[in-house]
Amino acid sequence: MDLLTALGAALAAAHFGTPLAYYAAKKRIRQPWRVRPDPAYASAVTVTPRLEIIVVDSASTDGTAERARRWAQTHPDLDVRMVEEPRDAARRLL
C-alpha cells in the first residue's frame, strides 16, 4: 500500500468512524451532557450580514432599470449595483 492510499484510508476511517463511534456510545450514555450557556459571555466578533443586489439592464424597454434605481435610493443600507449593457449588445449575441 502506497502512502497516498494509506492516507486516504486513514482520513476515510476518521471521517466515517468518528460519527459511528459517537452514535454507538450515545446508546450507552444515560444522561445528556450538562452544558449551560454562560450569560456573561460576550462575542469578540460581530458579523453584520450585507446583501448585494445586482441589476442588469440589457436593452430592456419596460422601465425595470429606472424602477430599480428608485428602489435603491430608498434602501441605502443595501449594496445595489446597476450594470448597463449597450442597447445593441443583445443584437450582437444573435
For the chain, the structural domain boundaries read 1-31, 52-93
Angle at 55 between CA 54 and CA 61, to 5 degrees: 175
State pLDDT tens for residues 41-62. Answer: 887 877 777 778 898 887 778 8
CA dist 75 and 77 (Å) reads 5
pLDDT at residue 1 greater than cutoff 90? no
Is residue 70 predicted with pLDDT exceeding 90? yes
